[in-house]
A and B are shown apart, each in its own frame.
Chain A
Amino acid sequence: MNTSFLFQALVFMGAAILLVPIAKKIGLSSVLGYLVAGVLIGPFILGFVGKNGQDIMHAAEFGVVMMLFLIGLELNPHKFWEMRKAIVGLGSIQLIGTTLLLFILFLLLQWDWRMALAVSLAFSMSSTAIVLQTLKEKNLSQSVSGEASFAVLLFQDIAVIPILAILPLLETQPNIATNNQSSLFADQPAWIQAISVLGAVAFILFIGKFLVVPLLRFVSKTHMRELFVASALFLVVGVATLMQAVGLSPALGTFIAGVVLANTEFRHQLESDIEPFKGLLLGLFFMSVGATIDFTQISQDPLMIASLVGLVLSIKFVVLMIVGRVFKMSSDQKFIFSFGLSQVGEFAFVLLSFSNQIQLIDETWTAKLMAVVAITMASTPLFILINEKVIEPYWGVKTIDDKPPHDTIDTHYKVIIAGFGHFGSTIGRFLRANNIQATILDNDSDRVNLLRKMGFEVYYGDATRLDLLEAAKASEATLLIAAIDPPEANQELIEVARKHFPHLTIMARSRNRFDAYEMMDMGVKHIYRETLYTAVHLGIDALVQLGFRKYTATRQGQKFIQFDESALEKLAKSRHDMKDYVLSVKEQIQWQEQILQNDLKLALGQTDISWDSEYLRQTFTQNQSES
């Protein structure tokens, strides 16, 4: 088999390009697409990728590292502090409960207690990569289950530090030289390793604050984007290397680095620069997981592996259900939460190979356990699918409420509101205050339950799904108000609606002008930028605070909105050569510049001349002097 680098790259990318869109098309998550692609090109089916799948996976683990860096960036210390209860509460119950039950199970299987402990710790981890990706795709990140999942994952990520510190203490024969150990302190006694771990974390905190920010500032002054990308990568790779040197999880190091940088001005630039690398590497990671599922191990001991998979999944699931119950989640949210986190995560690979290095687990067991991990990972997208198609429709919040909505108001002006967060709910309340009963589409089951109790007609689910729109009788509606929060989802909805229900008048919420441009290109006529009206309103009040008369300030505001809306249309046309192109931060600034230039043409300084006695006086005296 030809295993040159280029050929490998070709195989991986080809498989991804082919299978991921298919997975998306039939409504599966992209993670499953990548996993299947991996299995397909792996040694047991097509055999394009041989035994080096393991190596590729190690390389691709870097995607996880980058993902944690990005999560860290999103999570500034303040938010972190706000979530502390959820993180510690949910996280500790999940981790301790799962570890304990698994430990008992493994002891019953007559394993050595050290190995049992190491494996149960490893298996208590869930997959940050899979869960976050899935939540994002299903637009559930903001729901109760989404936030709880995030808290648990974060706790696990943090728990990796002490676990990695504890594992060496279990070592049976402490002084056996380990073969491929990369840690600087590996030969040192356990307590030195533990100290080195803490030292490294402190070191990152220090460096991030006093060295990295000045460095980034220095680089950004050169105005060369590629240099900034290079320094972003350098930063992530550097932290990862440092962590590896002290025998720590690189993911955790970069996570801390991300948190440190979250409050700096470089946050968005770093995010947009690292994002594509992360996406690619994560995809590669999932594919290599698929490719490393060792089917020979499975075929040698299929019963053992199958029962391990089953037992591990059920124990994790049960613990998560209990956690959900303790924290009073509704049944829908509990199911999403428990299925979502039921797999064993990528950290298990790290922990297992580490345990293998320090002789806690032997080679064959490591291979078998790795197979178990990979299979549980592959199972998650399937479980989520089963939850969506089978469990939710029967036990959870129904897509459609069985009971007829309270008093159906005249249906000939039927309005559909998609997305009922802060934005959509304000619209809904306003319409209701005017006796217009809108049909609501929302994918937060808690909110859906509440709204139904309040007598709203609510359809539960992802509004971008055609079948949900059909269920909500979009074909009979006159108005569709697209008010979903993430602009991508909102645009997806508009696309589906325009294609299948062309008669609908679409009124769309848009996040900002770039989002508005996209919608204009899609042919949406009524676009409402959430950033325009409130901002101008504030501006008007600011003028008033500065001593302007209220009516004058208000008229200036009216004129400004008018001007900005006509300017938006003009700029939208001149933007067409950049269509289908994601604007970078720098390009957005260039646009801003163009807009500001345009503002110079706006003669807002001119007041309404009819009320201006000075102007009247001038007109008349000027005329007198002429005649």
Chain B
Amino acid sequence: MRANDNVLILFAHPLLEKSKINKFFVRKYQQRSTLKFHDLYEEYPEFNINIPYEKALLEESSLIIWHHPLYWYSSPPLLKQWIDMVLEVGWAYGPNGNALKGKHILQVITTGGSEQAYQVDGNNRFTIREFLRPFEQTAYLCNMNYLPPFVIHGTHRISQANLDQNIEQFFTFLDNWQESIDSLLASSHNYLHEYLQHKNNR
């Protein structure tokens, strides 16, 4: 494995024991020795983030994943705390803040709402991409490439077959992400799962 292959998963879920889908994700992540799975709520139950350690982890990774459920159209608070504390001025952004330059960042999100709900005419009135603008801009300010997010919709209703297929595609992508990164960046897909579906159908 080359140094720039390293994948870091920053996982934030305050009640993992009740989330079947995310537990499944965690198992999959942990089975892969090539991934660095970092369970933020397990590591920092008191929100006392070890900043130097987090910076070191980021420095040795080239693909960073923010994996979290969508709570009130945003991330759970510990991930926000992580962003606040770790992405320091003069390191991640601002004068001489080049530590994250050129790294890729991917958001993996689970949400109870259906895809239709996240449309202009849906209940939530905005798309997921719109809700995730603050994260996208954070990545931009840090000179990172914000990849189209991977979203699992309707977590309470989704069929097992559908879910298995989605997750399967995601992990196939993850195992060889460098090979498809250029085509992903060039594509106009709003979501990673759309891109993967499209690629699969071809």
Contacts and interface: CB of A to CB of B under 8 A. Distances in A.
A608 interface: yes
Contacts of B90: 619
B121 interface: no
A619 B95 contact: yes
Contacts of B48: 555, 558-559, 562
B178 to A, nearest CB: 31
Contacts of A623: 94-96
Nearest to A616: B89
B182 interface: no
Nearest to A627: B95
A609 B91 CA distance: 12
A81 interface: no
B46 interface: yes
B95 A610 contact: no
Contacts of B87: 610
A620 interface: yes
B185 interface: no
A609 B95 contact: no
Interface string B81-101: 000110111100011100000
Given A555-B48, A558-B46, A558-B48, A619 B84 contact: no
Nearest to A551: B47
Contacts of A619: 89-90, 94-95
A338 B137 CA distance: 79
A611 B49 CA distance: 14
Interface string A606-620: 001111000110011
A609 B90 CA distance: 11
A558 to B, nearest CB: 4
Interface in A573-627: 608-611, 615-616, 619-620, 622-623, 626
A149 B96 CA distance: 74
A537 B80 CA distance: 26
A620 B85 contact: no
A352 B96 CA distance: 91
B94 A620 contact: yes
Contacts of B94: 616, 619-620, 623
B142 to A, nearest CB: 13
Nearest to B92: A610
Interface residues of B, number: 11
Contacts of A609: 88-89
Contacts of B89: 609-610, 615-616, 619-620
Contacts of A608: 85
Contacts of A620: 89, 94-95
Interface in A117-146: none
Interface in A507-559: 555, 558-559
Contacts of B88: 609-610
Interface string B153-166: 00000000000000
A610 B90 CA distance: 10
A562 B85 CA distance: 17
- Contact residues of B: prevailing secondary structure: loop
B81 to A, nearest CB: 10
Nearest to B46: A558
A622 B94 CA distance: 11
Contacts of B96: 623
A559 B87 CA distance: 19
A559 B85 CA distance: 14
A611 B87 CA distance: 11
Nearest to B48: A558
Contacts of B46: 558
B58 to A, nearest CB: 15
Interface in B75-133: 84-85, 87-90, 94-96
A559 B51 CA distance: 12
B49 to A, nearest CB: 9
B84 A611 contact: yes
B93 to A, nearest CB: 10
Contacts of A616: 89, 94
Contacts of B85: 608, 610
A609 B94 CA distance: 13
A626 B95 CA distance: 10
A442 B87 CA distance: 51
Contacts of A622: 95
A220 B99 CA distance: 59
A626 B96 CA distance: 12
* Most chain B CB neighbours (cut-off 10 Å) among A559, A611, A615, A619: A619
Contacts of A562: 48
Contacts of A558: 46, 48
Interface string B50-86: 0000000000000000000000000000000000110
A558 B85 CA distance: 15
Contacts of A610: 84-85, 87-89
A611 B84 CA distance: 7
B159 to A, nearest CB: 33
A606 to B, nearest CB: 11
Contacts of B95: 619-620, 622-623, 626
A610 B95 CA distance: 14
A623 B89 CA distance: 12
Contacts of A555: 48
Nearest to B96: A623
Contacts of A615: 89
Interface string A323-367: 000000000000000000000000000000000000000000000
A616 B84 CA distance: 13
A397 B96 CA distance: 72
A40 B121 CA distance: 101
Nearest to B49: A608
A626 to B, nearest CB: 8
Interface string A399-431: 000000000000000000000000000000000
Nearest to A626: B95
A564 to B, nearest CB: 14
B163 to A, nearest CB: 30
A391 B95 CA distance: 80
A324 B90 CA distance: 75
Interface string A291-319: 00000000000000000000000000000
A331 to B, nearest CB: 47
A462 to B, nearest CB: 36
A619 to B, nearest CB: 5
Contacts of B84: 610-611
A552 B90 CA distance: 23
Interface of B: 46, 48, 84-85, 87-90, 94-96
5 pairs of A and B residues whose beta carbons are closest in the complex: A623-B95, A558-B48, A619-B89, A610-B84, A619-B90
Given A559-B48, A616-B89, A623-B95, 20 more contacts: A558-B48, A562-B48, A608-B85, A609-B88, A609-B89, A610-B84, A610-B85, A610-B88, A610-B89, A611-B84, A619-B89, A619-B90, A619-B94, A619-B95, A620-B89, A620-B94, A622-B95, A623-B94, A623-B96, A626-B95
5 contacts: A562-B48, A610-B85, A616-B89, A619-B89, A622-B95
